[in-house]
């Protein structure tokens, strides 16, 4: 295939699988003025996605796509990518699947594999289907681009443009290395979250009333629709099993340390955890900036949250993250504002001066 200079993703883009990911990509591309064609086996999802403005359902009369984005569940990726390469002999084909080596194995023997370049955005919500699709889903998020040995420069270039148009941050990975990376950063964390959350379901009556932000943080991702994970985990079994083996040894060490009250070994486990959290890159891949939480009691009246955020804005402090919980002490909410450590004093002083009950 001839090399295509950069800056030439003009569409049409065909999206196969108009669920959460497909419809969100469609919305992002429509916002940039590209023609988007939608295909889905499920007529309800197709109707919802096109109704939201993510693109136009295919009829068979439309022009050939320049780029096909396959966004179907993991079990079907390989076959649907091959079908797209065959159906659209001039198009570049990518997919957004969570695991790259399996689909590539299906595609690799295909004569037109040079037109295929895998990819994987690290963004989602806890819901599947197009209803919660949003054009901003990918903004500032990492999006892996996983060319294989025979991917053409032109195919890779077009996928890079797709990623740039959605506002995501492109990161190049070899497909196998990508799978090892997401086993560590996404798949095993999800399974660990499910294991911890699973112990909550059988808790004796009353115990869960002591739930605080900690348990919510650790179990949040376990609450996502399990359907997709039932396909992701088997698709990345080798990389996941390797990490689970290491965690099993860590658990043995931890259990022994607790049994023998070995504080040094326990400290080692906890220190490793601290080192791990600090190793996660900061926003947009930048350096990690130390963060701290400021907790604010918000009375249970309409408009109070809005007033709080106006006051934070006027204090000139950027909120990096925010969580809202019931206040265990009084009626109302407790808002946790995560800000840079260096901004905590300014924020606390400004909020107290405006009458907010604040603690750290």
Ligand X SMILES: O=C(O)C(=O)Cc1ccc(O)cc1
User: Residues touching ligand X: how many (CB under 6 A)?
Assistant: 5
118 binds ligand X (CB under 6 A): no
39 binds ligand NAI (CB under 6 A): yes
Distance CA 321, CA 302 (A): 22
CB 191 within 8 A of CB 248: no
218 binds ligand X (CB under 6 A): no
Distance CA 301, CA 354 (A): 17
Which of the listed partners (ligand X, ligand NAI, none) does 42 bind, with a CB threshold of 5 to 8 Å by partner kind?
A: ligand NAI
97 binds ligand NAI (CB under 6 A): yes
Closest distance of CB 237 from ligand NAI, Å? 15
Range in contact with ligand NAI (rule: CB under 6 A) among 33-41, 166-174, 278-286, 290-298: 33-41
Nearer to ligand X, 134 or 186 (CB): 186
Nearer to ligand NAI, 26 or 147 (CB): 26
36 binds ligand NAI (CB under 6 A): no
Which of the listed partners (ligand NAI, ligand X, none) does 80 bind, with a CB threshold of 5 to 8 Å by partner kind?
A: ligand NAI
26 binds ligand NAI (CB under 6 A): no
Which residues partner with 144 through β-bridges? Answer: 120, 171
Take residue 299 and report the two structure tokens written for it: 């009375």
Range in contact with ligand X (rule: CB under 6 A) among 118-126, 153-161, 203-211, 255-263: 118-126
Which of the listed partners (ligand X, ligand NAI, none) does 74 bind, with a CB threshold of 5 to 8 Å by partner kind?
A: ligand NAI
222 binds ligand NAI (CB under 6 A): no
CB 146 within 8 A of CB 117: yes
Which of the listed partners (ligand NAI, ligand X, none) does 136 bind, with a CB threshold of 5 to 8 Å by partner kind?
A: none
CB 167 within 8 A of CB 140: yes
305 closest CA partner among 318, 292, 324? 324
Residue nearest to ligand X (CB): 98
Query: Hey, what long-range contacts does 326-331 have (CB within 8 A, 24 or more apart)?
Result: 327/297, 327/298, 328/212, 329/297, 330/297, 331/299, 331/300
Residue with tokens 């595609």: 107
Range in contact with ligand NAI (rule: CB under 6 A) among 93-101, 173-181, 278-286, 345-353: 93-101
Site string for ligand NAI, 57-86 (x = CB under 6 A): --------------xxxx-xx--x------
Residue with tokens 């023998």: 260
Residue with tokens 């004093």: 345
Burial (0-12, 13-18, 19+ Cβ within 10 Å), 285: exposed
21 binds ligand NAI (CB under 6 A): yes
Query: Hey, what long-range contacts does 326-332 have (CB within 8 A, 24 or more apart)?
Result: 327/297, 327/298, 328/212, 329/297, 330/297, 331/299, 331/300, 332/297, 332/298, 332/299, 332/300, 332/304
Quote helix, strand, coil % in the chain, to nearest 5.
50, 15, 35
Closest distance of CB 181 from ligand X, Å? 11
Sheet architecture: strand order including 118-121: 118-121, 142-146, 169-172
Closest distance of CB 49 from ligand NAI, Å? 8
Binding interface with ligand NAI (CB under 6 A): 16-22, 39-42, 45, 71-74, 76-77, 80, 96-98, 120-121, 124, 128-129, 228, 232
Residue ranges in contact with ligand X by CB under 6 A: 98, 122-124, 186
């Amino acid at each position: 295939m001839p090399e295509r200079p950069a800056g030439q993703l003009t569409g049409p883009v065909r999206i196969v699988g108009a669920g959460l990911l497909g419809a969100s990509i469609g919305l992002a591309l429509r916002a940039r003025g590209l023609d988007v064609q939608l295909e889905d086996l499920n007529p309800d999802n197709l109707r919802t996605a096109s109704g939201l403005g993510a693109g136009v359902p295919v009829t068979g009369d439309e022009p050939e796509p320049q780029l096909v984005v396959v966004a179907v569940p993991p079990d079907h990726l390989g076959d649907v990518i091959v079908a797209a390469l065959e159906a659209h002999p001039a198009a570049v084909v990518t997919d957004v699947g969570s695991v790259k080596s399996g689909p590539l194995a299906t595609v690799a023997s295909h004569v037109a594999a040079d037109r295929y370049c895998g990819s994987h955005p690290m963004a989602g919500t806890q819901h599947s289907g197009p209803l919660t699709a949003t054009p901003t889903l990918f903004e500032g998020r990492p999006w892996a681009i996983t060319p294989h040995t025979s991917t053409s420069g032109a195919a890779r270039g077009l996928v890079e443009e797709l990623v740039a148009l959605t506002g995501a941050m492109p990161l190049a990975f070899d497909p196998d290395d990508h799978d090892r990376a997401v086993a560590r950063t996404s798949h095993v964390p999800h399974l660990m979250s499910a294991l911890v959350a699973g112990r909550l379901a059988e808790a004796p009556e009353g115990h869960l009333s002591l739930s605080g932000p900690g348990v919510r943080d650790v179990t949040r991702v376990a609450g996502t629709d399990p359907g997709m994970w039932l396909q992701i985990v088997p698709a990345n079994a080798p990389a996941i099993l390797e990490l689970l083996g290491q965690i099993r040894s860590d658990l043995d060490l931890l259990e022994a340390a607790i049994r023998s009250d070995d504080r040094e070994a326990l400290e080692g486990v906890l220190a490793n955890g601290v080192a791990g959290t600090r190793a996660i890159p900061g926003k947009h891949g930048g350096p990690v900036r130390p963060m701290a939480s400021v907790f604010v009691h918000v009375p249970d009246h309409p408009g109070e949250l809005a007033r709080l955020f106006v006051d934070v804005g006027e204090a000139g402090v950027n909120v990096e993250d925010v969580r809202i919980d019931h206040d265990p002490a009084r009626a109302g909410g407790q808002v946790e504002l995560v800000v840079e450590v260096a901004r905590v004093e300014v924020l606390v002083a400004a909020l107290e001066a405006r009458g907010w009950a604040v603690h750290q």
